Chains A and B, each alone.
Chain A
Amino acid sequence: MNAQVETKPHPRIEATNDFVVKFANVNGSGSASANELFARAILRMGVPVSPRNIFPSNIQGLPTWYEVRISERGWLGRRGGVDLMVAMNPQTWDADLKEIEPGGYLFYDSTRPLPASKFRDDIHVIGMPLTAICNRTYADARQRQLFKNIMYLGALSILLDIDAREIKRLFAEQYKGKEKLLDSNVQALELGREYAAQHLDPIGLHVQRADNVGDKIFVDGNVAAALGCVYGGATVCAWYPITPSSSLAEAFQKYCMKYRVDPETGRNRFAIVQAEDEIASIGMCVGAGWNGARAFTTTAGPGISLMNEFIGLAYFAEIPVTIIDVQRGGPSTGMPTRTQQSDVLACAYASHGDTKHVLLLPEDPHECFEFSAQAFDLADRLQTPIFVLTDLDIGMNQRLTAPFAWNDARDYDRGKVMTAAELEAGKDFGRYKDVDGDGIPYRTYPGTHAERGAYFTRGTSRDPYARYSERGPDYVYNMERLLRKWDTAKSLVPQPILRGTGGEAHDGVIYYGSTSPSMSEAIELLGKQSLVLDTLRVRAFPFPDSVGEFIRQHERVFVVEQNRDGQLRTLLINEFGIDPARLVAILHYDGTPITARFIAGAIAAQMQPAKAKENAA
């Protein structure tokens, strides 16, 4: 059978350890595990990869993609463009074909011949009759489908020089104790390898062993955040299933079952409720936080919308609660399986009345772990809701990240809690009284003392002793105190990361969250064009003063975000009273993760005219 389609000779892309492979599949076809094996095997060869799932809000039958960037340099953002397309989905054939870079490669199932018009003449086509081989080899329909994936993995390992021993080792880990499955997978892999070795022409893309992975771990942000919650001492989790956050609550459950069961009694040191909706989820967290437990909920934009009233209560009644928002494309149902940073304003000023909330903005799974753990300390210390804002790109894609770290000497900061002994000794207790000048009052847990320390918690205005009051001065005292607390928060939240050029740059860039890996790469791309910028990665709101200083020190600051309206830029303008003209929005919001090429292109387009002017002068 000659499945190869004749194409005109074209200069082919030659690259080692630096290219992009994209798999176009149908969801529910079992491709995900084969694709993940592909990425992991390369990782085991010491070459950094960053895979991204691009999937529909659907269980079976719709297009899904898995894009793997292989980068010895360790660039973990999306690059843009595809060097090798593994086109396994006829539904998306035309669009998939278009994405291939000129000189790139197309790998497809050539069981049924396709007319020449279905191809491009500037790419190299590799056909392999996968269906035919599977139908010949397997009688069972499910096996025919599943092993097709393993077979292309085998073929790719030949074409790209991926060490098959690494794949087999991964199989062995995956199918430990299930020898039958192990053998059949190895067999399918070998079949794919044999065919490729005998029938397919070599290509210009190669993986070569390197030593650039180091001690990094490969994990998604939701798992990392869940683990952060375990380490941060969360005991109550109330949640409602919503993409892309559900796997976070499920991972928390998994880790709790493993690490949070009292070894002596077999009883659980945690309580997880799948609530009836997001309102109940946050309500339970507020109740648990009020009663001295560390509680969190995990959600996405629509959940935040529903939680608003409770967020206002927690702010005003000063109750610790942690909310992890794995952002997706909004507004409304928006793009539930696509990524965005579009809940920034909705979270920063959530609920009616004058409110402001602490936001933590992790860049990767490592920080998802760190910030989630820290959120509980901050919530207790500041007695207020703490938001951890991640997004689908970080949350649901496995990412190479620095290993998690914990210092056993670190204890939890439970904040200002007045004890029974202090109450007994006659210490004055005013629930909403600013004793220390930092705006943070003392609280008591219910049931602490028989005669002292009880108070009535309410969303209505009150005096410093928690007595209902609608007197203007009482109300103003309280609102001013909340602002003092806000100032205190500035020094407690993660501080921004500055990467300066030492005065060389006139322009600066501010960015945050999942934009980070692409931003780092974009700075290098811009540097190659002699465009230099200082960068500041914002890691939290309220903004520490250093953020305002950074803006003041630069003539122009680009604010790179993944939303339509420049939400962080709006926050910066609002909080610092900055002339909007000085902050230039660089926005990417089509639901795909922002790429280095996009950032570099957009910033260069803004900077070049300025540069031209400079040269003229």
Chain B
Amino acid sequence: MTYIAKPKLHHPTLACNAIGFRRRDYEGKISTLCAGCGHDSISAAIIQACWELDIEPHRVAKLSGIGCSSKTPDYFLGQSHGFNTVHGRMPSVLTGANLANRDLLYLGVSGDGDSASIGIGQFVHAIRRGVNMVYIVENNGVYGLTKGQFSATADQGSKSKKGVVNSDSPLDLVGLAMQLGATYVARGFSGDKKQLVPLIKGAITHKGAAFIDVISPCVAFNNHAGSTKSYEYVREHNEAVNRLDFIDVRAEITVDYAEGEIVDVTQHDGSIVRLRKLSADFNAHDRVKAMNYVHAAQAKGEVVTGLLYVDPDAHDLHEHFNTTEVPINRLGAQELNPGAETLAKINNSLR
């Protein structure tokens, strides 16, 4: 958390997006995380994605739990309402907020301790419900704020900075998300912004529960030899199954791709997520096969990244609930109150 605001000075030559905002308009307060923290790269990727998508910052609601990752919403989108909730419970607060106003973009930022340890129950159920959201876990395998204890995503056999070996088997959040019915599931690496920004853009334009697990090394407590969440380990074991290009509906498609390697996914809003296959036998449209692929790679110690599963025809919670198009927080007594005459009839039926 910080109370240091960034000066609001723009260099006149800075580029504007289609709605007249500069990239800096999407920034927040100065980060107080450690220098080199993967989380700051993710914040930067979120800023980049929102700027490139021409999103009005105030139409975003950013929610988080507790922990290093959950502090980050203060460091991006300073014009958005933010909510730093309680540990592990961001998903329920986000669900409620989403029910109140379906028109905003809901961005949930959490960590592996927040989502996989204390908050695994809420993670599971928010995904099950198909809440229309972008849920990002900044995954470093440790509790940073309390100085380096293992979290539930730490791999079995991985070593802590103090030399303790983790004996518990890890929770795999992307595997879980796919099994639970998330309709957009991706894994990124904070050290690969080129891959991460389009993954976030695809998640933002997806209508439904979009989950991104971002491996985000903790430079202070989990970046040593023996860790499977260090920069070095992830770089060596990163198996990107595809490269994603986000194509705006309004933009002209200019890049040529070789035949057979390309899959275009048209999203709910008409935008296209273009997948360039890097692995011939990976299919992001087949949930069960994708799960198998990810698990098989994991067993070999590889970290599969890319867009792992997407269902472009997904339905969200509001569709399940058949709620009004008008956000329910805008309804007044006129729409909500059945009135005295109806009450008199109800009274009569109770006699």
| Interface of A toward B, CB cutoff 8 Å | 215-219, 227, 230-231, 233, 235-236, 238, 259-260, 262, 265-273, 275-277, 279-293, 295, 309-310, 313, 403-408, 410-412, 444-451, 454-460, 463, 467-469
Q: List 26 A-B contacts (CB under 8 A).
A: A218-B350, A219-B350, A259-B342, A269-B324, A269-B328, A269-B331, A271-B323, A275-B92, A280-B89, A280-B92, A280-B95, A280-B121, A283-B91, A287-B63, A287-B95, A289-B100, A292-B329, A293-B100, A309-B86, A446-B81, A449-B58, A450-B58, A454-B81, A456-B81, A457-B81, A458-B1
Task: Provide the residues of chain A in CB contact with B233, threshold 8 Å.
Answer: none
- CB A429 to nearest CB in B, in angstroms, measures 12
Contact status of A268 and B324, CB under 8 A, knowing A292-B100, A445-B329, A457-B84:
yes
Q: Does A404 lie within 8 Å of B347, measured CB to CB?
A: yes
Sort A-B residue pairs by CB-CB distance and give the 6 closest, nearest first. Answer: A287-B96, A283-B92, A284-B96, A293-B100, A446-B81, A287-B93
Q: Does A447 lie within 8 Å of B97, measured CB to CB?
A: no
Closest chain A residue to B70 by CB distance? A458
Among the listed stretches B144-152, B154-162, B210-218, B332-340, which one makes contact with chain A, having 4 or more residues with CB under 8 Å of it? Answer: B332-340
Q: Does B331 lie within 8 Å of A235, measured CB to CB?
A: yes
Task: Provide the residues of chain A in CB contact with B97, threshold 8 Å.
Answer: 287-288, 290-291, 446
Task: Provide the residues of chain B in CB contact with A405, threshold 8 Å.
Answer: 340, 343
Q: Does A404 lie within 8 Å of B61, measured CB to CB?
A: no
Task: Provide the residues of chain B in CB contact with A269, threshold 8 Å.
Answer: 323-324, 328, 331, 335-336
Given A218-B350, A235-B331, A280-B121, 4 additional A-B pairs, CB 8 A: A272-B321, A293-B100, A447-B59, A450-B56
B118-170 CB contacts (< 8 Å) to partner A? 121-122, 124-125, 129
Task: Provide the residues of chain B in CB contact with A265, threshold 8 Å.
Answer: 324-325
Contact of B343 among A271, A276, A404, A446 (CB under 8 A): A404
B52-102 CB contacts (< 8 Å) to partner A? 56-59, 61, 63, 73-74, 78-86, 89, 91-101
Task: Provide the residues of chain A in CB contact with B121, threshold 8 Å.
Answer: 276-277, 280
- CB A264 to nearest CB in B, in angstroms, measures 10
Q: Does B329 lie within 8 Å of A293, measured CB to CB?
A: yes
Task: Provide the residues of chain B in CB contact with A289, threshold 8 Å.
Answer: 96, 100
Roughly how many angstroms separate A227 CA and B338 CA in the complex, as a whole number?
10
Task: Provide the residues of chain A in CB contact with B78, threshold 8 Å.
Answer: 454
Most chain B C-beta atoms within 10 Å of own C-beta, residue among A266, A285, A447: A447
Roughly how many angstroms separate A216 CA and B124 CA in the complex, as a whole number?
47
Q: Does A233 lie within 8 Å of B1, measured CB to CB?
A: no
Q: Does B89 lie within 8 Å of A235, measured CB to CB?
A: no
Q: Does A290 lie within 8 Å of B83, measured CB to CB?
A: yes
Most chain A C-beta atoms within 10 Å of own C-beta, residue among B99, B103, B333: B99
- CB B149 to nearest CB in A, in angstroms, measures 20
Task: Provide the residues of chain B in CB contact with A290, threshold 8 Å.
Answer: 83, 93, 96-97, 100
Roughly how many angstroms separate A49 CA and B318 CA in the complex, as a whole number?
44
Q: Does A406 lie within 8 Å of B340, measured CB to CB?
A: yes
Task: Provide the residues of chain B in CB contact with A271, threshold 8 Å.
Answer: 99, 318, 321, 323, 328
Contact status of A287 and B347, CB under 8 A, knowing A271-B323, A280-B122, A447-B59:
no
Contact status of A295 and B96, CB under 8 A, knowing A268-B321, A276-B122, A450-B56:
yes
Roughly how many angstroms separate A286 CA and B92 CA in the complex, as a whole number?
9
Q: Does A313 lie within 8 Å of B85, measured CB to CB?
A: yes
B18-77 CB contacts (< 8 Å) to partner A? 56-59, 61, 63, 73-74
Closest chain A residue to B331 by CB distance? A269
Task: Provide the residues of chain B in CB contact with A287, threshold 8 Å.
Answer: 63, 83, 85, 92-100
Contact of B339 among A291, A408, A450, A457 (CB under 8 A): A408
Roughly how many angstroms separate A217 CA and B343 CA in the complex, as a whole number?
12
Roughly how many angstroms separate A279 CA and B81 CA in the complex, as a whole number?
23
Query: Is B104 in contact with chain A by the CB < 8 A criterion?
Result: yes
Q: How many residues of B contact A (CB 8 A)?
A: 63
Query: Is B13 in contact with chain A by the CB < 8 A criterion?
Result: no
Task: Provide the residues of chain B in CB contact with A406, threshold 8 Å.
Answer: 337, 339-340, 343
Roughly how many angstroms separate A466 CA and B175 CA in the complex, as a whole number?
38
Task: Provide the residues of chain B in CB contact with A408, threshold 8 Å.
Answer: 339-340
Query: Is B2 in contact with chain A by the CB < 8 A criterion?
Result: yes
Closest chain B residue to A444 by CB distance? B81
Roughly how many angstroms separate A460 CA and B1 CA in the complex, as a whole number?
10
- CB A614 to nearest CB in B, in angstroms, measures 48
Task: Provide the residues of chain B in CB contact with A293, threshold 8 Å.
Answer: 96, 99-101, 328-329
Q: Does B324 lie within 8 Å of A267, measured CB to CB?
A: yes
Closest chain A residue to B329 by CB distance? A292
Query: Is B351 in contact with chain A by the CB < 8 A criterion?
Result: yes
Query: Is B257 in contact with chain A by the CB < 8 A criterion?
Result: no
> What 0/1 readout, one digit per residue, does chain B (306-340) give for beta carbons within 8 Å of chain A?
00000000000010011111001111110111111
Roughly how many angstroms separate A468 CA and B70 CA in the complex, as a whole number?
14
Roughly how many angstroms separate A290 CA and B73 CA in the complex, as a whole number?
17
Q: Does B3 lie within 8 Å of A467, measured CB to CB?
A: yes
Roughly how many angstroms separate A95 CA and B163 CA in the complex, as a whole number?
67
Contact status of A459 and B61, CB under 8 A, knowing A218-B350, A233-B336, A290-B97:
no
- CB B134 to nearest CB in A, in angstroms, measures 15
Contact status of A456 and B347, CB under 8 A, knowing A271-B328, A287-B100, A407-B340:
no
Task: Provide the residues of chain A in CB contact with B337, threshold 8 Å.
Answer: 230-231, 233, 406
Roughly how many angstroms separate A457 CA and B99 CA in the complex, as a whole number?
18
Q: Does B100 lie within 8 Å of A457, measured CB to CB?
A: no
Q: Does B340 lie within 8 Å of A313, measured CB to CB?
A: no
Contact of B100 among A295, A412, A458, A460 (CB under 8 A): A295
Contact status of A262 and B324, CB under 8 A, knowing A280-B89, A293-B99, A295-B100:
yes
Closest chain A residue to B2 by CB distance? A468
Roughly how many angstroms separate A65 CA and B351 CA in the complex, as a whole number?
23
Roughly how many angstroms separate A450 CA and B56 CA in the complex, as a whole number?
7
Closest chain B residue to A233 by CB distance? B336
Most chain A C-beta atoms within 10 Å of own C-beta, residue among B61, B104, B336: B336
Task: Provide the residues of chain B in CB contact with A215, threshold 8 Å.
Answer: 347, 351
Contact of A283 among B89, B129, B338 (CB under 8 A): B89
Task: Provide the residues of chain A in CB contact with B338, threshold 8 Å.
Answer: 230-231, 259-260
Roughly how many angstroms separate A259 CA and B333 CA in the complex, as a whole number?
13
Query: Is B251 in contact with chain A by the CB < 8 A criterion?
Result: no
Contact of B333 among A292, A412, A469 (CB under 8 A): A412
Roughly how many angstroms separate A560 CA and B80 CA in the complex, as a whole number?
51
- CB A261 to nearest CB in B, in angstroms, measures 9
Query: Is B346 in contact with chain A by the CB < 8 A criterion?
Result: yes
Q: Does A236 lie within 8 Å of B96, measured CB to CB?
A: yes
Q: Does A291 lie within 8 Å of B100, measured CB to CB?
A: yes
Task: Provide the residues of chain B in CB contact with A292, threshold 8 Å.
Answer: 100-101, 329-330
Contact status of A310 and B89, CB under 8 A, knowing A270-B328, A287-B97, A403-B347:
yes
Task: Provide the residues of chain B in CB contact with A467, threshold 8 Å.
Answer: 3
Roughly how many angstroms separate A412 CA and B350 CA in the complex, as a whole number?
26
Roughly how many angstroms separate A411 CA and B338 CA in the complex, as a whole number?
12
